[in-house]
Structure 1
């Protein structure tokens, strides 16, 4: 065999092996969406908890969700009712929350039968709900333990079993509202202009623009 051809074949084979190694070592970019999805399913112990205060307006009953002193939950409260004021705590950096009554301290939870119940300890997964913003701008609250089961109320404001709920039903649609008379944390401030002293560059720009005229 010609030495030149054998050398050429060796070089081609070596390049072929290098190409295969390059293909094997190439790593696909990280799937950030999958990471967020996985991390949203576990309790976040590192990030700062976000606490909000609002009312949940039921689309079907036309009233607000309330947690009574006897741990019963319904959607019969008027706007501004003391039992309608809810404290919402984030459970993850995603959209999972724990909801408790500001007046009673009881958490809204769901038992294995799909019934809404009040608990003084809301650490269980049955007391965690995922906030889902729908296309009609209403919010649905899906239980984290019983996937596919939602917080829902009838037209009379009575709780509906989670096992009989679906995301498209009006009974699971809510609107977040600030409590009546509730003020935002920061008062509205008027826009203010700040006057800074002119430097050499700004003086030249100002003089040139004044000479140009209208």
Structure 2
């Protein structure tokens, strides 16, 4: 066995090693995640003081080391999305087309009086008292005088006989009929001016169906008509001896006494000359 002095020295050496290990463990725990020991804690306190001063001065706070990582780990930053709205220019042609399909109840109706000359029969459309419609009237016939009322601000019209007061309408079979009440859409026609300067009347309820007459002046079914056919071509003519009711506007000249310019101080005034 060794001497008691050597055993005592070994025991002291072992206790010294244990104390050193305990000091190292304590230093590691004191540093933690914030920074290297006391120095890291001091940096954190200084950064917090700078941030508070920046808030008081309404300036953006300076970024501290590790602060961005803490915010990202704590909560997700919101995504900023900007929505760009592109407004298309208004389509005036489409607006007119849509408004032309709606009956205008507020505007003043334009009323015209004329005859419809059929290209095929060579005579005029007439509405008889027995509710028959044909194109066999001569020029100036009282039953050939038609009154045309506008339905919208566009080219949609209602046609009725001036002598009988009956409206020209079209039923679901395409046959022309006369009605005393022309408020229905089947009594509305769209005036279409063709390239040959003739006018075609298309029914507003049954699109593609036109008012048409054969060579003998008999009405033809609208389901068998097309825009290029001669049977649907008409010419608008004034009745014989009919004069427009519009009076010619005359200009009236007002005579005012002549004016002379006079100076009164620094102001200029106009005074009439003595008569």
Q: Same fold (TM over 0.5)?
A: yes
Count of aligned pairs between the two proteins: 182
SS at match of 1:168: coil
Q: Which residue does 2:240 correspond to in 1?
A: 180
CA offsets 1:106-154 (integer angstroms, 9 cap, x no match)? 0000011110000001111110000000001100000011100000001
Q: Which residue does 1:52 correspond to in 2?
A: 112
More RCO (CA 8 Å, sep 6+)? 1
1:93 has 2:157 as partner: no
TM-fit CA distance, 1:77: 0.4
- Provide structure 2 residue ranges, at least 5 long, that are not aligned to the other structure: 1-62, 64-79, 261-275
Classify 1:165/1:27 alpha carbon distance in 2 versus 1 (closer, same or farther; 3 Å).
same
1:128 has 2:188 as partner: yes
SS at match of 2:97: helix
TM-fit CA distance, 1:25: 2.4
Q: Which residue does 1:29 correspond to in 2?
A: 89
In the superposition, the TM-score normalised over structure 2's length comes to 0.61
- Provide structure 1 residue ranges, at least 5 long, that are not aligned to the other structure: 4-16, 201-214
Mapped to 2, the partners of 1:47 and 1:187 lie a distance apart of 22
1:41 has 2:112 as partner: no
Deviating 4+ runs (over 4 angstroms): 191-200
Of the two, which has the highest radius of gyration? Answer: 2
CA offsets 1:82-101 (integer angstroms, 9 cap, x no match)? 00000111111111110000
Q: Which residue does 1:12 correspond to in 2?
A: none
Mapped to 1, the partners of 2:240 and 2:248 lie a distance apart of 18
CA offsets 1:67-91 (integer angstroms, 9 cap, x no match)? 0000000000001100000011111
Output the aligned Cα RMSD. Answer: 2.2
Classify 1:49/1:193 alpha carbon distance in 2 versus 1 (closer, same or farther; 3 Å).
closer
TM-fit CA distance, 1:168: 0.3
